[in-house]
C-alpha cells in the first residue's frame, strides 16, 4: 500500500484546518510529515534549508481533486490549496481502502489531529520542528552521527539474537532487524562523508529511515521480551519495505541490493 500523489494531497487537505493549505511550502511540510507517521506516499523529497522539499509540487495545477488560488502576501504571489468535492470523495475512499488497512481508528484520529494543528502553524515553524526531529541542521550534525553510532551498536547485538521463524510476525521482526542494520551501516558511511554544510544532495528517506530505526530499537527490545505487537510490526515492515519501491538504494527492488550489503 502506497498513497499516490493526488491521494496524499487529498489526505492532508482533508485533515487540514478548513480543508485548505495556504502555501506550497506548507504543503511540502505536511506531505513529508506523512512519512513520519509510517504512511508511504509516492512522492520523493530532497533537502533544502526549509527541510523536506519536492520541486514538482510547485508546478501542481488545479484539478478535479483540489483547486489552487494565487494571492498576494508580503509582495509575493502565494498559492492556496483547497480540496474539492471530488477530492473529499477521494480522501474518504483513500481512508477506507488504504489507511484503514494500516492504521487503527485511534492512530488515524491522532494523525488527523496533528495534521490539523500543524496546518495552523507557519511553514517556518513546521520546518523548524522537522529539522529538530530529523537532525538535519549543521549544528546538530554531531548528534546525527552519534545517533547512527548508537543505533548501529544496538542493532549489531540485536541481529544475533535467535528469533524462531514460527510466525509471520517473528519472520518480519527478524527481517526488520537485519534490514535496519544494513541500512544504518550504509547511512554511517554516507553521513560521515558530509562536509560542514547542509546535505543538499540528501534523499530525505535517509533521514526518515534513521528516525524510524531509532524508534525501532526500544520497540524491538520490548517485542523480544514478551507478546508481539503484530500491528506495529506490520506497520514498520510495510513502511520500510514498500515506501521506497525502486527509489532508494536499499529498496528490495534494487537488483544490486546484495552487492550494496556486501560493501
Architecture of domain 5-132: Orthogonal Bundle (1.10)
Over residues 30-58, mean pLDDT: 85
Mean residue pLDDT of the chain comes to 87
Summarised one tens digit per residue, pLDDT across range 166-205 is: 899 999 999 999 989 988 988 888 877 766 665 655 678 8
Over residues 223-236, mean pLDDT: 92
Nearest Cα to 20, choosing from 87, 75, 76? Answer: 87
More confident residue, 134 or 103: 103
Rounded-to-integer distance, Cα 66 and Cα 111, Å: 21
**Could you tell me the maximum CA-CA distance found in the chain, to the nearest angstrom?**
63
> What residue ranges do the domains of the chain occupy?
5-132, 136-262
- Say whether pLDDT at 80 is over 70: yes
DSSP assignment, residue 42? S
Residue ranges in the chain assigned as alpha helix (H): 5-15, 24-36, 85-94, 100-102, 105-119, 123-134, 141-158, 168-191, 205-225, 230-242, 257-262
Amino acid at each position: 500500500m502506497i498513497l499516490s500523489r493526488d491521494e496524499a494531497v487529498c489526505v492532508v487537505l482533508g485533515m487540514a484546518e478548513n480543508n485548505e493549505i495556504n502555501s506550497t511550502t506548507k504543503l511540502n511540510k505536511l506531505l513529508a510529515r506523512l512519512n513520519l507517521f509510517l504512511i508511504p506516499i509516492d512522492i520523493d523529497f530532497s533537502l533544502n534549508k526549509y527541510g523536506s522539499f519536492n520541486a514538482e509540487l510547485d508546478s501542481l495545477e488545479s484539478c478535479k481533486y483540489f483547486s489552487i488560488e494565487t494571492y498576494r502576501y508580503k509582495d509575493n504571489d502565494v498559492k492556496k490549496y483547497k480540496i474539492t468535492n471530488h477530492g473529499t470523495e477521494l480522501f474518504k475512499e483513500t481512508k477506507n481502502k488504504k489507511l484503514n488497512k494500516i492504521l487503527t481508528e485511534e492512530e488515524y484520529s491522532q494523525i488527523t489531529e496533528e495534521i490539523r494543528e500543524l496546518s495552523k502553524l507557519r511553514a517556518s515553524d513546521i520546518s523548524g520542528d522537522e529539522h529538530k526531529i530529523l537532525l538535519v541542521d549543521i549544528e546538530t550534525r554531531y548528534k546525527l552521527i552519534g545517533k547512527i553510532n548508537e543505533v548501529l551498536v544496538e542493532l549489531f547485538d540485536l541481529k544475533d539474537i535467535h528469533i524462531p521463524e514460527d510466525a509471520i510476525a517473528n519472520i518480519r521482526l527478524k527481517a526488520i532487524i537485519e534490514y535496519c542494520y544494513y541500512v544504518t551501516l550504509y547511512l554511517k558511511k554516507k553521513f560521515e562523508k558530509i562536509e560542514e554544510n547542509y546535505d543538499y544532495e540528501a534523499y530525505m528517506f535517509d533521514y526518515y529511515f534513521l528516525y524510524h530505526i531509532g524508534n525501532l530499537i526500544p520497540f524491538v527490545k520490548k517485542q523480544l521480551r514478551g507478546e508481539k505487537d503484530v500491528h506495529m510490526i506490520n506497520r514498520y515492515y510495510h513502511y520500510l519495505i514498500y515506501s521506497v519501491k525502486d527509489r532508494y538504494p536499499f529498496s528490495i527492488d534494487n537488483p544490486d541490493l546484495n552487492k550494496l550489503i556486501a560493501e
